[in-house]
A and B are shown apart, each in its own frame.
Chain A
Amino acid sequence: KAGVTQTPRYLIKTRGQQVTLSCSPISGHRSVSWYQQTPGQGLQFLFEYFSETQRNKGNFPGRFSGRQFSNSRSEMNVSTLELGDSALYLCASSSRAGSSGNTIYFGEGSWLTVV
C-alpha cells in the first residue's frame, strides 16, 4: 500500500508569507505527527493529531498550526514566515496514537525555503 505522501515536496516562500503543507497518511492510519528538521536543531516535534484532535504539541510559536480531517489527512500551516523557518518538514503516520508498541512511518518531507 502507498506510504506517507507529502505535498508539495519543494517550495520557496518570501518572509512574511504563509505556507500550507499537506500530508496523507498510510491508509488506515489515524495518527499523524509533524516534525521540523534543520541542520542546527535536528528533528523537532511540532504536533500530533489523532482522530481530528490535537493530542500533543511541541515547543513552537503559535505561528505553527495544524489540523486533521475526517479522512485522517493533515495540513500544517506556518504564518508570517521567518528565515529560520527554512527546513525539511516531515510528516509521520501510525495506526494508533502514542508510541507504545506502535510503528511510526515517515514521508519524504516538504522542503521549505524562506527568502
Chain B
Amino acid sequence: AQSVTQPDIHITVSEGASLELRCNYSYGATPYLFWYVQSPGQGLQLLLKYFSGDTLVQGIKGFEAEFKRSQSSFNLRKPSVHWSDAAEYFCAVGNYGGSQGNLIFGKGTKLSVKP
C-alpha cells in the first residue's frame, strides 16, 4: 500500500543551524511529491513540489528538497533556520484517488527552533 513515513516526530535546532527533515515514501508508480508546512492554528501551506525533471527542487522561504528514487526519499533542507520556521512539516505523495484521496500524508515532523 502507498505510504509516507516521516521518521522524526519532533526536531529541535538552533537558530542559524542547518535543517534536514526526512521523508520516505512507498509508491508503485512515478511519485509526485510535496512538502507542506503548518503553523499553529493554521492551514497547510505548500513549500515545494516535485513532479519530474531536476531532482533538486527549490521552494519558498529558502527551502529545498532532493528526490532520490533509489532511496525512496524526498528530504527537506534549509541551510540556515530562522525562528519563524518553527512549525509542523508534512511530506505527501500524490495518489490516484480512491479511499486515500489525492494526497497521502506522513504523520508530520514538528520543528522547534532554539534562540
List A residues at the B interface (Cβ < 8 Å): 4, 6, 31, 33, 35, 42-43, 45-48, 55-59, 90, 92, 94, 97-109, 111
Contacts and interface: CB of A to CB of B under 8 A. Distances in A.
Contacts of B49: 103
Nearest to B49: A103
B99 to A, nearest CB: 5
A101 B51 CA distance: 6
Interface of B: 32, 34, 36, 41-46, 49, 51-52, 90, 94-103, 105, 107-108
| Chain A interface SS verdict (over half) | strand
> Lowest 8 CB-CB distances: which A-B pairs, in order?
A99-B94, A45-B101, A106-B44, A99-B102, A108-B43, A43-B105, A56-B97, A109-B43
A99 to B, nearest CB: 3
B47 to A, nearest CB: 12
A90 B43 contact: yes
Contacts of A101: 32, 51-52
A43 B94 CA distance: 14
B101 A106 contact: no
B99 A43 contact: no
Contact of A42 (B46, B100, B108): B108
Contact of A104 (B98, B102, B108): B102
Given A33-B101, A58-B100, A58-B101, A106 B36 contact: yes
